[in-house]
Structure 1
Amino acid sequence: MELEVRHLRALCAIADTGSLHRAARQLGVSQPSLSTQLRRVEQELGGALFVRARTGCRPTPLGRLVLSRARPLVTELRSLVTEARAAAVGGRQLRIGSTASRALAG
């Protein structure tokens, strides 16, 4: 298994929310699916990334190391996508305005 961007996003969401349940909701996946994904990432990296307790999830030392590298990558990828989308449309936004008419309600 190779780490993918979705894995990095999941790790950041777990750390940011402090909970597998809240992170799963934020990511739009089921909690069991996110738990399975986390276990696979931990197996790939060779250690636990979070301490799981009733009060939530806290990063382990290994988790803090991985998160310190994952966060800038996720942020840069988000910026790349935003810039690429803007460039794809020529850097222009289409804005449509109107006055009240029968063709456009409200």
Structure 2
Amino acid sequence: MDLEVRHLRVLCAIADAGSLHRAARELGLAQPSLSTQLRRIEQALGGRLFTRDRTGCRPTPLGRLVLGRARPLVRELGALVTEAR
């Protein structure tokens, strides 16, 4: 699996929402579909990105590393699209 910008957006949405359920709702996806996407992203990156429990999701150390790189890329791409339009 190649990591794509949409995957980075998914990770940012999960971190911002603090739960898969809220992130799925914000992204307009079913929660099981988002869970499947997250598992595939985690497999591609070689580790768990979030700890999940009944109170929500929190980034793991690997998740914090990935989010630290993903957020600027997502912001820059958004700015690029805005400027191009």
Normalising by the smaller structure, the TM-score range is over 0.9
What is the percent sequence identity of the aligned residues?
A: 82
In proportion to residue count, which structure has more helix?
2
Displacement of 1:32: 0.6
Partner residue in 1 for 2:12 = 12
Provide the residue aligned with 2:51 in structure 1: 51
User: Which segments of 5 or more consecutive residues in structure 2 lack a partner in the other structure?
Assistant: none
Deviation at 1:45, TM superposition (A): 0.6
Match of 1:61 in 2: 61
Secondary structure at the counterpart of residue 77 of structure 2: helix
CA distance in 2, matches of 1:58, 1:19: 8
Q: Which runs of 5+ in 1 are unaligned?
A: 86-106
Structure 1 or 2, whichever has the larger Rg, is 1
SS of residue paired to 1:57 = strand
Q: 1:22-63: CA deviations, max 9, x gaps? A: 101111111111100000000011100000000000000000
Q: Structure 1: which 4+ aligned runs deviate by more than 4 Å?
A: none
Larger RCO (alpha carbons 8 Å, 6+ apart): 2
Return the alpha-carbon distance in structure 1 between the equivalents of residues 77 and 28 of structure 2: 19
Letter of the 2:35 counterpart: S
